[in-house]
């Protein structure tokens, strides 16, 4: 009785010329514009380990320029992984720390699913949730600084 051992990875044992090659991440395009005290960050392309730092940088710069907060338009984002989610959550944390808001607008199906599965849909997409978070942050800061 003989048993065959199967490779654990599909490319295991394959000649170097037959192994799968990782595809480079398509470029991400980010534009920003200001309107009425807020800055909108418009993203087109996949947000992943390679491109999330660009999103985080754009959000940070938008927060510097905006007196009220940042809207992130993700309508043209077909894929977002946990590093993209972390960039959004970090941007929200920074915004709240400055008394501002970060709101995700126009999230496509893939992004909406990610936010729903991670229970961040409300905090990241609802202006009411964002505004109440700012009020909570200010109340907490006032309570801490009161003698």
Residue 123: φ, ψ to 5°: -60, -30
The full DSSP string for 57-96 is: HHHHHHHHH-SSEEEEEEEE-S-B-HHHHHHHHHHHHHHH
Say what the pLDDT of residue 128 is.
63
Tell me how far apart the alpha carbons of residues 121 and 123 are, in angstroms, rounded to a whole number. Answer: 6
Q: Structure pTM?
A: 0.73
Q: What is the pLDDT of residues 91-123, one digit of tens each?
A: 999 999 999 999 999 998 999 999 999 999 888
**Residues in the chain where the model's pLDDT stays below 50:** 2-9
Give me the pLDDT at residue 9, please. Answer: 47
Domain boundaries, the chain: 26-138
> Which positions ≥6 away from 60 have C-beta within 8 Å?
91, 94
Whether the Cβ atoms of residue 35 and residue 24 lie closer than 8 Å to each other: no
Asked if 62 contacts 39 with a C-beta cutoff of 8 angstroms, the reply is yes
Per-residue model confidence (pLDDT) at position 137: 58
pLDDT of residue 127: 72
Please state which CATH class domain 26-138 belongs to. alpha beta
């Amino acid at each position: 009785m003989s048993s065959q051992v199967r490779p654990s990875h599909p490319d295991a044992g394959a000649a170097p010329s037959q192994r799968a090659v990782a595809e480079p991440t398509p470029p991400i395009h980010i534009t920003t514009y200001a309107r009425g005290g807020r800055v909108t960050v418009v993203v087109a392309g996949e947000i992943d380990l390679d491109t999330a730092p660009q999103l985080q940088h754009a959000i940070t710069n938008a927060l510097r320029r905006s007196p009220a907060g940042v809207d992130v338009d993700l309508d043209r984002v077909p894929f977002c992984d946990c590093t993209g989610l972390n960039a959004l959550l970090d941007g929200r944390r920074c915004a709240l720390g400055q008394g501002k808001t970060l709101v995700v607008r126009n999230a496509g199906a893939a992004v909406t699913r990610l936010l729903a599965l991670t229970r961040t849909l409300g905090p990241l997409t609802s202006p009411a949730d964002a505004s109440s978070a700012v009020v909570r942050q200010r109340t907490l800061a006032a309570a801490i600084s009161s003698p």
